[in-house]
Amino acid sequence: MVRAFYHEDTSTLTYLVWDPESRDALIIDPVLDYDVFASQTRATSADEVLSALEQEQVNLRVIVETHAHADHLSSAQYLKEKTGAPIGIGQDITKVQSIFRSIFNFPETTPTDGSQFDLLLRPGEVQHFGTLAVLPLPTPGHTPACLSYLIGDAVFTGDALFMEDYGTGRADFPGGSAEALYHSVHEVLYSLPEATRVFVGHDYRPGDRALRFESTIGREKASNVQLSQATTEAEYISLRQRRDRTLKAPRLIYQSVQTNVYGGLLPEEEPNGGRFFKIPLNRSAPTNRAGAPLASSKEPNNS
């Protein structure tokens, strides 16, 4: 069974998945609400998921992330605190941690071994959570650590593959790769049976259509507007890179990433009792302290 929760502010889908017989369950990609103007977190969305656990009378066995999200904060730690369920993510999160430790200029002592998570999942290695069998599939490209999760006849694709009328995730974040994303979709996801149900990580509702979050591999292969079965690697890379150049950075990228690469842990409390995000300034176009552009500045290569 699958129950979806849509976070309107970030167009994010969170999923509660369970075995109707044993009632064993997992949560995929939970959201912690964040008001960017007040710099205030709330657990409203996470509490909705907790209420659903009670309503459906299920036993939460694990919380998994498809990747370290760049557009919303994760509520994995909040849910763990409330339920005791462990948190899992792909083992290559260590690569993402290393990249962003440098970007944020965090101390060299900041761990980049994935130890902030309870489980580092290996692609291709089936995991059993109670009676739930979960196969992590390697689908890097949006980030180097992206996993999709195959559970029965359903695959949860995170930001690798969206609804067929929208396309795929972007590939221009640090460590991202349009080439890798092409192979993740074309060779990994499209190798699944065509009847496999696809549950996406976001729905941006093109044309202001009604919310949709479930497709099939067959439908995606036939008509995904960016990457169908017929799309060549060169065509996709050209389209994806051209599209990415037009996109702004996600509104919450810095707050989200420095939380999510560390398992959803908010910044540590400082001596004055406050917690503070660290936000890089003018990273793509450096300036001096007066705000004047530096003549030698170059756009960073994020591919």
For the segment 228-281, what is each residue's pLDDT rounded down to a tens digit? 999 999 999 999 999 999 999 999 999 999 999 999 999 999 999 999 999 999
Q: What mean pLDDT value characterizes the chain?
A: 96
- Residue 82 burial class via C-beta count within 10 angstroms: exposed 0-12, middle 13-18, buried 19 and up: middle
CATH number of 2-260: 3.60.15.10
Distance of CA 56 to the CA centre of its chain: 25
Residue 41, pLDDT above cutoff 70: yes
Residue 296, pLDDT above cutoff 90: no
Q: What's residue 238's pLDDT?
A: 98
pLDDT band at 303 (very low <50, low <70, confident <90, very high): very low
pLDDT band at 216 (very low <50, low <70, confident <90, very high): very high
In the chain, the percentage of residues whose pLDDT exceeds 90 is: 96
How much is the average pLDDT of 206-210?
97
- Residue 48 burial class via C-beta count within 10 angstroms: exposed 0-12, middle 13-18, buried 19 and up: middle
Q: What's residue 295's pLDDT?
A: 80
Residue 300, pLDDT above cutoff 50: no
User: Taken in order 200, 206, 211, 215, is the CA torsion positive or negative?
Assistant: negative
Q: What's residue 153's pLDDT?
A: 98
Terminal C-alpha separation, the chain? 37
Q: What's residue 16's pLDDT?
A: 98
For the segment 178-195, what is each residue's pLDDT rounded down to a tens digit? 999 999 999 999 999 999
In the chain, the percentage of residues whose pLDDT exceeds 70 is: 97
What type of residue is 112?
T
- Distance separating alpha carbons of residues 54 and 62, to the nearest angstrom: 16
Domain boundaries, the chain: 2-260
